[in-house]
Amino acid sequence: MMDEDLVSNYTTYETQFSATLLQTDPFILSDTFDIKIDFAWISNEIAQGNASFLKMKYFIEDIMHQCVFTHKASPIDMKHIKNKIVVFPFVPTNDIIAMCLHSKLNAICHEHMEILSITIGSKYANPKMSYTYNDPDYPMLPTLKEWIGQSKYYYDAPWWGRNTIETQDYEVDENTDLTSPPKFDTILEQIEKLTVGELDLKPEGTGEVVDINGWKPKIVKD
């Protein structure tokens, strides 16, 4: 957690992403979001800090982009949808989206960056309005037990509190083998290893560069 005296000094990252939202009734809405993220570098390890920024950037611009935003109470079954799915605990309005992303990005960046605030709003809304979330706590979000409906689970936090690309959780019951969690893409781990120089890009005997989902590292200069 940042010292309150230092919060006045921070970096701002701005981008946008598109998504399809399932509202109530049900009502389907396509939208493009402008998002502004204020964050602070809290580590002297430059490479690790750059890795945290690139993981955040990848999550917003590649994982969130062109997702379907739904919610737990939605009557529409998403099991056969091939799009990336984000399951929010409530109808995905600006405040809920901002709160979940604030939590998720802090989980992803954790030791090297702190997400101070997230401002999000529709690019084309009229009147143009946005919502800012800057609370390090998340009193509106459900606990893991409330979210999963079970006392035991694969992990100790919902998807918005884990350092992974996951954007939804899994159904479990008393017969589920919790020692074998579902597999997911480890691209965030690969981005970090690549940025800090721990990932070998030239497999022995081939001389070819390994392409991680088309992603290339960039050095961030504040």
Tens of pLDDT, residue by residue over 123-145, are 988 899 999 999 999 999 999 99
Instruction: List the chain domain ranges.
Output: 9-195
pLDDT tier for residue 26 given thresholds of 50, 70 and 90: confident
Helix 94-109, helix 46-58: angle, nearest 10: 150
| Residues 148/150/154/159 CA torsion (nearest 10 deg) | 20
Please report, for residues 2, 9, 26, 99, 219, the alpha-carbon distance to residue 102 in angstroms, rounded to integers and kept in the order given.
15, 18, 26, 5, 23
User: What is the three-state SS of 158-199?
Assistant: CHHHCCCCCCCCCCCCCCCCCCCCCCCCCHHHHHHHHHCCCC
Query: In terms of Cα–Cα distance, which of 42, 112, 26 is closest to 76?
Result: 26
State the CATH class of domain 9-195.
alpha beta
Tens of pLDDT, residue by residue over 95-124, are 999 999 999 999 999 889 999 999 999 998
Tens of pLDDT, residue by residue over 210-219, are 455 566 566 5
Question: Per this entry, what is the length of the chain?
Answer: 222
* Cα radius of gyration rounded to whole Å, the chain: 18
The DSSP annotation for 102-116 comes to: HHHHHHHHTTTEEEE
pLDDT tier for residue 204 given thresholds of 50, 70 and 90: low
Token digits of residue 77: 């079954």
Single pTM value for the model: 0.85
Could you say which DSSP state residue 75 is in?
S
